[in-house]
Structure 1
Amino acid sequence: MKSIVAKALFNSYSYSEYRKLVTDLLSEGKSTGDQQSESLTNYTSLNEARMNRLEKTIKISEDAIDKLQKLSNHYIWLVISEGWCGDAAQILPVLNKMVAGSNKKIDLRIVLRDQNDELMSQYLTNGGRAIPKVIVICKEAGIVRTDWGPRPKGASELLANYKKEFGVLDDKIKTDLQLWYLADKGISVQEELLDIMEKIKYNRL
């Protein structure tokens, strides 16, 4: 496992590098990932606009910043993502702002799912390759402590309830999911990641 994570980290991107990669590919009419299609490119373009907006509007609470700055160790949040992923577009800007306020206690690194099959296979969700996945690595110990994702609990429940009622995940629920993120304003991501980091800090995980 250590070698798989180390290999992924070696090939990882910073947040700004990831954004530039996605933007450059879009300028060529492409998306990240093994598959290329007009729909994936359109999703990527939409996500680009979302991330630009979120980078300007997302607020990280003072309580969150304080708790992150008081972490006793240093960590890496290694995120498995792709440019076309709607959940990743909603979550990555929040993580980036949390890391920016952590006083260098946390580094944010991003890898592409389709270029890291070995890593992705270790972090499946119900057998599927759902993203984003946040892998929390303790720098000092060089070990993975836990993981989170692919979306906040409230968003996951929204999807599960819809699928239970209608049997499919169609365009309507995709729209409903984006509206959920819009109303949530990144609060659930902050709270759930903070809860994880607090548990790690006090050896509850």
Structure 2
Amino acid sequence: MKQLPIVNVLQKELKEVIREAMTYDEFRELVADLAKEHGTTGPEQSEAYKNYTELNHRRMKRWDKTLKVSDAYRSKIEDYNGKVVWLVITESWCGDAAPSLPVMNKFAQINNNIELRIILRSEYPQVMDAFLTDGKRSIPKLIVINTEEFEVLGSWGPLPSQASLMAGEYKKKHGSLTAAFKEDLQQWFNADKGSNTLEDLMQLLTLK
């Protein structure tokens, strides 16, 4: 997570984007329909992306059912009194979004002051380009927006902090993230059970 200045150019545009954005349930329905039809979002309609969409549907379905929030965390989430939109940029095929979006949704379910909305990177390139990670269009990207002034308060993503460190160290050693590393990362997500993402997102509750 990092602090961001107000993105003045985007403020008016963000209001419209939020109005057009999907709810979590709408996004889940979209992914489910695409998985059933062997489809995917975005201009690249490759077999790989279609297969990833099907896999993500199964993963999110599992995360939605099994994800647990401790009473201590739940109490802190309930106490949050800011009024914010968590706007997430993603795609149906994005493997890193599958374990993270259900965690974000838990926050929104627990506290109505947090409004979760989702947009596709391919449909809103201008928003994506305002929130690059190391110059890249990395997703998922969560943007925290104050709903009263539409001020951008901060962001998170594309990976939880521990996974981001793992990826950074692997890149230094090997130059890029291999298929083997990505498979290991999914195993890490399964073992972590959303706890690192939950801890990261708790820090966003300091933003109002």
- TM-score under structure 2 normalisation? 0.91
Aligned mate of 1:138, from 142, 146, 154: 146
Aligned-residue offset at 1:2: 0.6
Note if contact 1:60-1:98 (Cα within 8 Å) is conserved in structure 2.
Answer: no
Q: Tell which deviates more after alignment, 159-168 or 112-121.
A: 159-168
1:78 alignment partner AA: L
Distance 1:4 1:177 in 2: 35
Q: Does 1:150 align with 2:158?
A: yes
Indicate the structure with greater helix content.
1
State the partner residue of 1:5. 14
State the partner residue of 2:69. 60
Distance 1:93 1:82 in 2: 14
Note if contact 2:23-2:117 (Cα within 8 Å) is conserved in structure 1.
Answer: yes
Distance 1:98 1:60 in 2: 9
RMSD of aligned residue pairs (Cα, Å) = 1.2
Note if contact 1:134-1:149 (Cα within 8 Å) is conserved in structure 2.
Answer: yes
For the residue of structure 2 that corresponds to 1:128, the secondary structure is coil
Distance 1:127 1:3 in 2: 24
Note if contact 2:34-2:53 (Cα within 8 Å) is conserved in structure 1.
Answer: no
Aligned mate of 1:85, from 66, 84, 94: 94
Aligned mate of 1:37, from 43, 46, 49: 46
Aligned-residue offset at 1:55: 0.8
Count of aligned pairs: 199
Aligned mate of 1:75, from 84, 93, 108: 84
Distance 1:120 1:69 in 2: 30
1:174 alignment partner AA: K
Note if contact 1:68-1:105 (Cα within 8 Å) is conserved in structure 2.
Answer: no
| Structure with greater contact order relative to length (CA < 8 Å, sep ≥ 6) | 2
State the partner residue of 1:127. 135
Q: Identity of counterpart residues, as a percentage?
A: 42
Deviating 4+ runs (over 4 angstroms):
none
1:89-126 alpha-carbon deviations (Å, 9 max, x no partner):
11001111121112x11111000011001100000001
Note if contact 2:97-2:140 (Cα within 8 Å) is conserved in structure 1.
Answer: yes
> Which runs of 5 or more residues in structure 2 are unaligned?
1-9
Aligned-residue offset at 1:63: 2.1
Aligned mate of 2:196, from 180, 183, 188: 188
Q: Does 1:115 align with 2:123?
A: yes
Q: Does 1:26 align with 2:35?
A: yes
Note if contact 1:132-1:149 (Cα within 8 Å) is conserved in structure 2.
Answer: yes
- TM-score under structure 1 normalisation? 0.92
Aligned-residue offset at 1:143: 1.6
Note if contact 1:69-1:105 (Cα within 8 Å) is conserved in structure 2.
Answer: no
Distance 2:143 2:102 in 1: 16
1:99 alignment partner AA: A
2:61 alignment partner AA: N
2:91 alignment partner AA: E
Note if contact 1:32-1:84 (Cα within 8 Å) is conserved in structure 2.
Answer: yes
Aligned-residue offset at 1:64: 2.1
Note if contact 1:26-1:45 (Cα within 8 Å) is conserved in structure 2.
Answer: yes
Distance 2:144 2:104 in 1: 12
> Which runs of 5 or more residues in structure 1 are unaligned?
none
